Structure 1
């Protein structure tokens, strides 16, 4: 049994879903692990990780619009605004999504469906440099 870790740095451009599938697939391939379990962890409180459709970009637009409706920035109900009006809504959006993902690895690749991709979901307006920690356990 082998263990591998990697820190993936992702530069965001503000709110939205940013694909990270390709660098994740490339790193898993470089490890040589054929069968295992991949864990992705996002050590931030204002962005998250998700697996979502990767074929039609309007899916990402609809998801972003849905979250704007579900957790609006200008609700007038938030006490916490230390880093701006998008601060507390970003925390709530992260809470409603995922900070971590677990994906099986078979035949040297993370098992994703035909239309699935891995995304970092930035919940802040300003660009940020984010980290995604990858941990792979397998043979």
Structure 2
């Protein structure tokens, strides 16, 4: 298995497209699977179309589902931080992509996106792992 780690800053964006980094990581590796994993209890990864407002729509939908208030038992950190700990139950902490000839088999409009609503920690690691088929 081959691995690499990306360091991502989410200070300015709640969603960060990491598709190009995934493509670069897979290039020249042949056929197999690429797993993308975020080892954080308050972030996740999703595959969706970016741009044209989709990024903001995803964030707004998640914020409606997970309001930042005092309803959560997990109560440390900024107000509503408990919502951040529920996020990975909705947006999984990993995605696995089939890779053919060193290219992730994503659809035309699909992107691999780090989703991070947590305002208390903006420094994220994203682990890429490749297993040959």
Tell me how far apart the structure 1 counterparts of residues 85 and 120 of structure 2 sit (CA, whole Å). Answer: 15
**SS of the counterpart of 2:112?**
strand
Tell me the distance in 1 between the aligned counterparts of 2:120 and 2:86: 17
Report if the CA contact (8 A) 1:48-1:99 is conserved.
Answer: yes
**Residue equivalent to 1:21:** 19
Q: Which residue of 2 aligns with 1:131?
A: 125
Give me the whole-angstrom Cα distance separating, in 2, the residues matched to 1:12 and 1:52. Answer: 18
Q: Provide the residue aligned with 1:5 in structure 2.
A: 3
Give the Cα–Cα distance (whole angstroms) in 2 for the partners of residues 59 and 72 of structure 1.
19
CA contact (8 A) 1:17 1:121 kept: yes
Q: Unaligned 5+ residue runs, structure 1?
A: none
**For residues 88 and 14 of structure 1, do their structure 2 counterparts lie closer, same or farther at Cα, with a shift above 3 Å needed?**
farther
Distance in 1, matches of 2:12 and 2:116, equals 6
Q: Which runs of 4+ in 1 moved over 3 A?
A: none
Query: Are positions 1:54 and 2:33 aligned together?
Result: no
Change (3 A) 1:127 1:79: closer
Secondary structure of the 1:125 match is coil
TM-score (structure 2 length as normaliser): 0.92
Distance in 1 between residues matched to 2:57 and 2:101, nearest whole Å: 33
Note the aligned Cα RMSD (angstroms).
1.6
* Contact in 2 for aligned 1:94/1:123 (Cα 8 Å): no
